[in-house]
Structures are given as structure tokens and as C-alpha cells.
Amino acid sequence: MKKHNLLYIFPDQFRLMSLGLWQNPEFATLIPGRGDPVFTPNLDQLANQSTILTNAVSNCPVCSPHRGSLMTGNFPSRSGVPLNCHSQRMTSELPDDAPCFTDALAQAGYHVGYIGKWHLDVPTPNDPENPGEFVDSRTPAWDSYTEPQRRHGIHYWYGYGTFDEHNNPHYYDTHGKRHDPKTWSAEHEADKAIEYLTNQNGERDQDKPFALFLSMNPPHSPYSGLEDCRESDWQLYKDKTHAELLVRDNASHDMDKSDAAAYYFANVSGVDKEIGRIIDTLKTMGEWENTLVVFTSDHGETLCSHAISDAKNCIYNEAFSVPFLIKRPGQKVHFHSPAFVNSADIMPTTLGLLSLREYTPAPIHGRDLSQIVNQPQPEFQSALYLRNLDGERNSQGEVVDYFPQSRGIKTEHYTLAIDINTSHQITSTLLFDNQSDPYQFNNLPFEPDAPYVRHLLREMAKELVRVQDPWAEKGILANLLPYHLFDN
């Protein structure tokens, strides 16, 4: 029997609300509050024949921690990636010896391709064209070159660490040669994906099924002007007012950032167009019906909601929730699932959908949801929230630890986040009724003895113990969080 292919697409900072699908009355009630006024016809069409998971989250909603969980199937406590990677965070990078998603696919006989942003390495002075130099001149350096021995089973490589110039991207190919295409990055990456899929230059072994990961940087910041997007995409939004673009009730129209909405949505629509080109290629090849397609994102984007400038790293729905579509091979109709999907669940679930469960590394935190995502009342109905900050530094000023500053839990009904200081004292809480308050305006009093709060604290403690989080390991707030009930 022919194995199914995998196409895994994850543009960065693409929020749940930014699908045109939510403007359709059939789907509008599936998300909290109004969807964005975006044009995403290709993703909407994909959703119409996919399982739509509206409770997928980025547990630690910044780029590298999500990617670490995606690759290892573990939460940041064990993935090796608790913080965004750069050259001064010495203990945050994907471990060389970690059995990863791409390793499992390669072992299962797949030809594995990776195109776009990686952001899982501590940058080192390993520029392949300038030995002994960083590829990034900044201090700390963020961009990196990933050497072959660190690519975890990936056969075809066309990537970079992290570099946020959408119209001036660069890439390193399988052999370490640098490419500077001077083209909007998502368009160029779609070109390379199409070359890979059609095997235009002998990119892959056609006797093997393919597994292609496509990590587009847009709509990640910057998105402040035409230098950050394509003008043709911006034309869709340029004449709309702030009020016409920022339609969510909790969005501020007075922030400087509100001017960026048109450019953010331009990148959303541009990404949609490029995904459409790739889908058309699969259909022309005759591989569409034989391919498992997953579409999601690293994390969301606040985009002026709650008048905060940080795009991510918070539990608000706009940043914490991510789009998640699964189109199974041969799937023709859509299905909505309320299952909660953690970042660490993606690898085992995808391997399960490909009938490759035996290749899932063990033990991992992630759970295989492949058998429950089509159930009307799935078993797992909560998700952890984590925010980590830089911890201790060594004498060279390098970050050698991380501080678990905030932990929380989200259920269908409630959202709770607790912030602490370095003395492990509570500094603030967020508590929302997601059903009566979908825009999370009303921060409820934190009353630990209230039955529903006790339930949230119990669920939170259970999950923190399960994923070996520092709060559970160190007994942080053990007077509130009953870790002892779940110790082995």
C-alpha cells in the first residue's frame, strides 16, 4: 500500500482569527468573538475539506519553544528550548541527540524536506562562507546556519535561523550555499516548495513518499510598510479604516500599531495565495488525494487587542490560540473538533494520522490525538499556558537558566494565568469566563476557594506534574496547586 505524503505548513504569528472562513455564518460561532476581515480563499477552501480544530494553542507562545515542542513532542521543561533562541541564551536550543519529528519520518522511509525559518539553534561562528564568523552581525545574534549534523534527518534543506526582512530574505541550501533571492520570502519559499514537490532539479527521491515542512515567516513582524509585504496584497486593505480592519471589540484603534493592521493582513493574504499555488501543484501532480495536509502557526498575534504592544507571549486568545487544519488523504468534507491540541501533541498526532505510531519516540509529553480529533466530545479538554523569561547569567553575561514567570490553564469555559516574582509570590492573575466574556474584558477576582477556581487549579497542577514543569518540580505555589495528588 502506498504511504501517504505529508505537507506541513506553519507561517509564523498567524493568528486563529485571521481566516476568512470565520466570516461565513456557518463557522462564525466557532471562535471567540469576530473573525478578522481578511481574504484567505485558499485556506477557506482547505478548511472546507479539513478537520478544523478551534482549541489548538501555542503553549509557550513564542517561536522557538513552540518549534522545540513540535520537533520533540515535549513541553519546554524537556524539549531543550524554553526560550527564543539567540547567541546569548546558551541553554535554549534543540539538542543534537533529541529524537525528532523529522528523524521519525526519515526512519519511516520518507524523504524529508524543510524550507524556511528554523529558529532552533544557538547561533555560533559557523558561517559556511566565512569560517569563524557569525552569519548575523547583531549582538546577540539571532540568525544562524544549521549544519548538516543538526538537521535531524532532513534530506532537503533550504532554510535559515531567523531573519525578519520579508522582502530581502536569505537561505542556506543543503550544501551550505547562501541564496539571496530579493523576492518576498513566502513567494520564494512557495517556488522552492513547488520545485521540491515536482522534483524539478532532482531535489528528492521519487521512490519515497515526501514529508515537506514549510515555515513561512510572514505574517510575523515587521509589518509596518510596503517594505514588509507585497503591494498587490496591500491593495486589498489600503483603503480601509482602523475600525474596518480592527473589528474585534477588544482592539484599540488609537495605538501606533493600529496603522500596521493593513500590512499584517496583506501578509496573511499573501501567504494564502502562495499556499494556493502549492495546493494546485499537488493536484496537478495527482498527489492531493494521497497527501495529509496540516496548516497551523507558531503562535498568534495580539494586533492591538487589550492595547498591548507585545504581539505574543501572553494567554489572551489572540496570541495563545492558533489556527489548526488537518486535511486527511481523500477527505472531502469539513468537521469541527473542540479537542485541545498542545504544541507537543502535533508530532504524535501527525504520525498517528500517517499510520506511523511505532516511529513515535518514547517517552514524550505529547499525546496522539489522531483517534479523537473527530469525536464531538474529546477526552482532553484543557491546555497549559507557559511564559518563561531569562534567568541566571554567567560571568560573560550569557543566559544559563530560565525563570518560569507565569503558568496557566485554559478550558472551554475558563482561562486562568498566574504570574509570580523570583520569590515565588503571586504578582498578578488573569481569570476570564470564556463563554460569557469571549473578548476577555472582565478579569474576575481570583478566589482559590471558589469551586470552579479549585477545579482549574487542580487541572493545572495535574498537567504541570505530567509535563515535569519547574512549578511542579519545585513545588511553586503548592499551597494552591495540589501537585501531591498527581505524584507517581
For residue 375, is pLDDT > 90?
no
Cα separation, 315 vs 293, in Å, equals 27
pLDDT level of residue 487 (50, 70, 90 thresholds): confident
Pairwise pLDDT comparison (207 vs 487), residue with the higher score: 207
- The conformation of residue 2, written as its DSSP 8-state character, comes to P
Mean pLDDT of 242-268: 97
- pLDDT digits over 184-207, tens only? 999 999 999 999 999 999 999 999
Mean pLDDT of 449-458: 98
Pair 162, 143: CB distance under 8 Å: yes
| Beta-carbon-side half-sphere exposure of residue 425 (alpha carbons within 13 Å) | 2
**pLDDT surpasses 70 at 479:** yes
Q: How confident is the model at residue 378 (pLDDT cuts 50, 70, 90)?
A: low
For a pLDDT cut of 70, what percent of the chain falls above it?
Answer: 99
Residue 341 clears pLDDT 90, i.e. is over it: yes
pLDDT tens, position by position, 383-442: 999 999 999 999 999 999 999 999 999 999 999 999 999 999 999 999 999 999 999 999
- The CATH architecture to which 382-485 belongs is 2-Layer Sandwich (3.30)
pLDDT of residue 429: 98
Given this model, what pLDDT does residue 376 score?
Answer: 65
Q: How far apart, in Å, are the Cα atoms of 283 and each of 184, 276, 286? A: 24, 11, 5
Secondary structure letter of residue 152 according to DSSP: T
DSSP class per residue in 465-476: HHTT-HHHHHTT
Q: To the nearest whole number, what is the mean pLDDT of the chain?
A: 96
Q: How confident is the model at residue 381 (pLDDT cuts 50, 70, 90)?
A: confident
- Residue 96's pLDDT band, with cuts at 50, 70 and 90, is very high
CATH of 5-359, one of 3.40.190.10, 3.50.50.60, 3.30.750.24, 3.40.720.10: 3.40.720.10
The domain limits of the chain are 5-359, 382-485
User: What is the reported pLDDT for 263?
Assistant: 98
Report the pLDDT averaged over residues 206-228: 97
Q: Summarize pLDDT for 347-373 with one digit per residue, the tens.
A: 999 999 999 999 999 999 999 999 887
Q: Above 70 in pLDDT, residue 377? A: no
Q: Mean of the pLDDT values across residues 104-133?
A: 97
Distance CA 320, CA 314 (A): 7
Question: Would you say the CATH fold of 382-485 matches that of 5-359?
Answer: no
Gap between the Cα atoms of 175 and 180, Å rounded: 15
What's the predicted TM-score (pTM) here?
0.97
Q: Per-residue pLDDT averaged across 257-269, rounded?
A: 97
